[in-house]
Amino acid sequence: MDFTYDDEQQALRDAVRGLIGKKYSDFETRRQTVAADPGFDETTWSRLAELGALGLPFSEDDGGAGAGPIEVAIVAQELGRVIAPEPYLTSVVLAGGLVADAGSDTQRAEILGALSAGESILAFAHDEPGSRWAPTASKVTASGSGDAWTLTGVKEPVLAGARADTLIVSAALPEGGTGLFVVDPANTDRTGYPTNDGGRAARIGFNGTAAVPLGVGGDATSVIATGLDRARIIAANQAVGAMEVSLHATASYLTSRKQFGVTLNTFQALNFRAADMYISLELTRSIVDWATMVLVEGTSEEIADAASRAALQTSRASRHIGQEAIQLHGGIGMTAEYSIGSYTSHLTALDHLFGDGNHHLRVLAGKVGDHADVDPLG
């Protein structure tokens, strides 16, 4: 596999880094942005659209750019480097990806066209109180037939749900399985609130709310499962960007902060801990790059396996790098005024977004029986 970027991909990376990096080069700007609703900068969202970043994964017929997962991963890594609060992962990758996979021609053109142009925010209302990380819905139920459907129940947390212009909602079908529906959020009961990493989520209630099936309707469990796996791999790319900056900030601190008249990097034990952080980052980068390339041409089973492997390594590395970054920064690592705590908070949020390390370890352990026995002495 070739992990190097071609000229166009490098140009995309430079353009996104220039836009997002300039916007959030001062950490205080991010702090002020996430403190006010909707929790991200609408102007920056529009500029990402002008850059073509919002339409990267969608076909040109649907108003997108017809690019692939590698280009989407590049954008995600750059957003992670400055922990940009714009809802790219949940709106474009997750909700937009489901519309691209299951929507009708008309739905794709209308919904993805508006999303790619920066005129609309999508949110995927899937998680339900008391359940997590499954590709199915149970507590929000759908009733009806044909195009006349209604939904009843509660979804929470719905990331970017309070700001969303269009909701993609999963619901249990009367005949079994989980369907996907397009819902106008104006007809729902929405309560928004901030998340621990400065993002936004919402509790959304449906009370006989009118809904339109996404595409031909029917059981969409497999579509949701692949959509979640795709989001897991792109989330891991976003985490790689955040970990890279966390390591760089820690190394800079060790080489500039003095104690007993010498810089901290004079102490060998601290250098060893920073070196371990570097190894965690590079191991994660390697498996995430591999998983992203599996996303390009892999089957749904191969994508699911790659997503769990990448998510497990990313979870372990995020915890290691985040905790070490705070400890090696000493007391200032615990303060809200310094950025390193916010990076660790964001890494923790990404870890729990689509399944934490223990969840993916159980998934992978359950597949051990699929492989032949290994004789270590053979």
Structural domain boundaries of the chain? 7-120, 123-218, 222-370
The whole-number pLDDT of residue 97 equals 98
- Residue 372, pLDDT > 90, answer no
Fold type of domain 222-370: Butyryl-CoA Dehydrogenase, subunit A; domain 3 (1.20.140)
pLDDT tens readout for residues 201-251: 999 999 999 999 999 999 999 999 999 999 999 999 999 999 999 999 999
CATH architecture of the domain covering 123-218: Beta Barrel (2.40)
Superfamily of chain region 7-120: Acyl-CoA dehydrogenase/oxidase, N-terminal domain (1.10.540.10)
State the average pLDDT for the chain.
95
Rounded percentage of the chain residues whose pLDDT exceeds 90 = 90
Crossing angle, helix 69-81 and helix 7-23, to 10 degrees? 30
pLDDT tens readout for residues 174-207: 999 999 999 999 999 999 999 999 999 999 999 9
Beta bridge partners of 262: 259
Q: Is the peptide bond before 87 cis (omega within 30 degrees of 0)?
A: no
Q: Give CA–CA dist 322/261, Å, rounded.
A: 27
Phi, psi of 180 (to 5 degrees): -115, 140
Beta bridge partners of 193: 201
- Residue 373, pLDDT > 80, answer no
The whole-number pLDDT of residue 1 equals 64
Nearest 10 degrees: Cα torsion 271, 349, 338, 23:
110
